[in-house]
């Protein structure tokens, strides 16, 4: 029994340093876990860029020829992964899109989806876009467009994840 209490100062220092290292590792691990959670949540988000423009064709020289008679809402995917456009509601009417793929603008700069704006004298439209991401999470964004001084101004909300 006397051998048990026969501990040198070096052994005490070793045990104290090991205990300190264990506590420090636990604290660092906890901070690393929080950082990783935030990084995963950043990767698990999507964002659409919704604006207005005119539809265009590309001529033989590769130049864009805009049609001023065809204004449209342009939907671009700003996230890192592709998204699938499920449907959109336009002024209360629902239009299926059959999971139209919109690649990321980082993958394909001009990739977008067009929703034609009216040319019949209407000055206000509303829309709601439903889409899913690469892991089949459902998302939505909504907004409206107003014709102001001959130019369509589009306002949209940030994308919201729908509950499963």
Model pLDDT, residue 68: 64
- Please give the full DSSP string across the chain, using - where no structure is assigned: -TTTT---HHHHHHHHHHHHHHHHHHHHHHHHHHHHHHHHHHHT---EEEEEEEEEEE-TTS-EEEEEEEEEEEEEE-SSS-EEEEEEEETTEEEEEEEEEE-BTTT-TT--EEEEPP-SS--EEEEEEEEE-TT--EEEEEEEEEEETTEEEEEEPPPEEPP-
Model pLDDT, residue 80: 82
Model pLDDT, residue 108: 85
Reading the block at residue 9, the tokens are: 């100062």
Model pLDDT, residue 44: 64
Distance CA 101, CA 81 (A): 11
Model pLDDT, residue 126: 96
Model pLDDT, residue 3: 57
Reading the block at residue 140, the tokens are: 């939505």
Model pLDDT, residue 2: 52
Model pLDDT, residue 4: 59
Model pLDDT, residue 7: 76
pTM given for the model: 0.70
Return the number of other C-beta atoms located less than 10 Å from residue 49's C-beta: 13
Model pLDDT, residue 5: 66
Model pLDDT, residue 26: 95
Distance CA 6, CA 15 (A): 15
Q: What are the per-10-residue average pLDDT scores of the chain (164 residues)?
A: 69 91 95 88 79 79 74 90 93 92 87 89 94 90 93 93 80
Nearest to 99 by CA among 112, 83, 115, 86: 86
Distance CA 137, CA 125 (A): 27
């Amino acid at each position: 029994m006397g051998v048990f209490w026969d501990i040198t100062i070096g052994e005490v220092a070793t045990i104290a340093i090991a205990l300190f290292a264990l506590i420090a590792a636990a604290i660092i691990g906890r901070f690393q876990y929080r950082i990783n959670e935030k990084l995963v949540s950043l990767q698990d988000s999507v964002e659409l860029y919704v604006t207005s423009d005119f539809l265009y064709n590309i001529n033989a020289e590769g130049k864009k020829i805009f049609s001023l008679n065809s204004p449209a809402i342009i939907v671009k995917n700003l996230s890192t992964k592709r998204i699938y456009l499920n449907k959109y509601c336009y002024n209360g009417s629902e239009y299926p899109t059959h999971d139209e793929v919109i690649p990321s603008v980082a993958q394909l700069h001009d990739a977008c989806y067009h929703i034609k704006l009216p040319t019949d004298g209407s000055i206000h439209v509303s829309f709601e876009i439903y889409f899913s991401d690469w892991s089949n999470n459902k998302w939505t964004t909504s907004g409206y467009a107003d014709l102001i001084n001959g130019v369509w101004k589009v306002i949209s909300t940030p994308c919201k994840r729908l509950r499963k």
